[in-house]
Structure 1
């Protein structure tokens, strides 16, 4: 019997059919099409007004202010969050307790209430005094003249977000095995070198995804700065224009389109950041069909066992050498 006759016939794989999955897809497409057609015909949406105001100068300027609020607030929140995370991991009980109380307050109260409180800061602290406590101040400034409403909004958003960033950073630092830090110390690295070269690069894979979500969330949370009160952001500017035109729905759509544009850009940036810091994770896989080769000792035997290398597909196709 020849080798061709001994070789079994190849298995014919039949693709599994999913008729109900196709039916569900068709139903979903029909529902989406009906929603789009219905929205296009609704007079309340007033699409000509949407096209008129979507690139209005007042709206575009408000969109820029919203981006400024987001970037500045997140920058301050990330720095403060890292500091709070290190304080939470500190062996000093006082430092750890101060950080815990901060997180307890700012995570336990609504952001709208916090922004309202910060809007009244000039009432609570009418002046900023410089000097030795309980003595005559060297210099005194009125709070409302020193801190603008814009920066009060930035500070209020940043202090709230810092509490969440602290937990994100702490979780990322704790995800790195303790042995990594011990190995770096054994190599003579200082604490700062260990954090910058060993711990933080490995923890970024855990920190980046939730941080990206927090940035997107911050972009939308800026619509609450009216509690300060600050009214030059995207949502509040669109609301002011709708109060003049007595047509709020198109302006809400305009604001939503700008928010969707910004969040889409942020999501793309988050994707590439995650891809950048996840390099090398899950990439090392054994070659298909590879096995041990060389000479291996056998326990209890006098002679070693020789294991021949497994021929690759190219070797089999071209013949044995």
Structure 2
């Protein structure tokens, strides 16, 4: 018995050609068109072209003044102050945030409650209020004393000389950042499957090694995007310390245009510096994320 199907044979005319299995060979393929998409592209291109044309031809931008002050010594010094504030606020904030995150994850109700209260308080109070509070710390506490709790002190510090404008700014930024960093780290740790830690404990791996070699490398994939956003927000948020007369970028720009009256080009100086440095931070974020994504994504 043959399983092949031969074309039918007419005894008078011979074999007849087999009919096509379906009608796909006779269909006309019409490409899908997107007229509204192309209309949106054209409209967006026109708006961008008009914006760029205005940037180039509008004399109000005063690009000659922009070029004069973009790399001026006072501006570069202010950029350096901004970077220092961002670095210290990030390092101290995330160091304290990690401690707070694990306090919230602790089995101790007391430690968890203290960490929760800290996060609640510092996320509730506006940053500018915190900065002004630390700046005026000497009004409340003229000296800090170290010794036996509720007993005699061994040595003390004069807060007027201890907490200056720069120290108060770093302290305020770091403590404010720690509240948000704690929740970012806690969320990343909770995103790791608990079975990972249970399997490691079953193998007899010490607790600290579980955390360092198993939990944190996986948690970093969840932590990094949010942490990078917070660092960039802190970098731009350093402009708020201008209320304390600290010579960061925005404050220095205000000083310069207060003297020469060239408001728009000086604001563009600050804007371009913020864009450039934020771009550098975004590039670093990309490579750090790619490092921790090894083995998880192609």
Q: What corresponds to 1:121 in structure 2?
A: 137
Kindly provide the CA deviation profile for residues 109-166 of structure 1, in whole angstroms up to 9, marking residues without a partner as x.
1111111111111211111223334455333331121233212111100100111111
Q: What corresponds to 2:65 in structure 1?
A: 49
Contact 2:82–2:235 (8 Å) recurs in 1: yes
| 1:59 equivalent among 65, 75, 86 | 75
Q: Does 1:29 align with 2:45?
A: yes
Aligned structure 1 segments of 4 or more residues deviating by more than 6 angstroms? 5-13
Q: What corresponds to 1:296 in structure 2?
A: none
| 2:218 equivalent among 188, 191, 202 | 202
| 1:265 equivalent among 280, 285, 288 | 280
* TM-aligned CA deviation for residue 13 of structure 1: 6.2
Q: Does 1:137 align with 2:138?
A: no
Q: Does 1:17 align with 2:53?
A: no
Q: What corresponds to 1:291 in structure 2?
A: none
Kindly provide the CA deviation profile for residues 24-83 of structure 1, in whole angstroms up to 9, marking residues without a partner as x.
111111111112222333333221111110010110111011111111110111111111
Q: What corresponds to 2:128 in structure 1?
A: 112
Q: What corresponds to 2:14 in structure 1?
A: none
- Cα distance in 1 between the residues matched to 2:231 and 2:273: 16
| 2:190 equivalent among 149, 174, 194 | 174
- Cα distance in 2 between the residues matched to 1:150 and 1:108: 23
Segments of structure 1 that go 5 or more residues without pairing to the other structure are 284-321
Pairing 1:238-257 to 2, within 5 Å after superposition = 238-257=253-272
Kindly provide the CA deviation profile for residues 283-315 of structure 1, in whole angstroms up to 9, marking residues without a partner as x.
4xxxxxxxxxxxxxxxxxxxxxxxxxxxxxxxx
Q: What corresponds to 2:12 in structure 1?
A: none
Contact 2:146–2:156 (8 Å) recurs in 1: yes
Aligned residues: 281
Q: For residue 157 of structure 1, give the secondary structure of its aligned residue in structure 2.
A: helix
* TM-aligned CA deviation for residue 7 of structure 1: 9.2
Contact 1:153–1:230 (8 Å) recurs in 2: no
Contact 1:47–1:250 (8 Å) recurs in 2: yes
RMSD: 2.1
Give TM-score, length-normalised by structure 1.
Answer: 0.82
Contact 2:97–2:185 (8 Å) recurs in 1: yes
Contact 1:82–1:166 (8 Å) recurs in 2: yes
* TM-aligned CA deviation for residue 15 of structure 1: 3.8
Q: For residue 153 of structure 2, give the secondary structure of its aligned residue in structure 1.
A: coil
Q: What corresponds to 2:13 in structure 1?
A: none
Segments of structure 2 that go 5 or more residues without pairing to the other structure are 1-5, 8-18
Query: Against the structure 1 CA distance between its residues 259 and 185, is the aligned structure 2 distance closer, same or farther, given a 3 Å change threshold?
Result: same
Give TM-score, length-normalised by structure 2.
Answer: 0.88
Q: What corresponds to 1:73 in structure 2?
A: 89
Contact 2:166–2:246 (8 Å) recurs in 1: no
Contact 1:74–1:215 (8 Å) recurs in 2: yes
- Cα distance in 2 between the residues matched to 1:57 and 1:45: 22
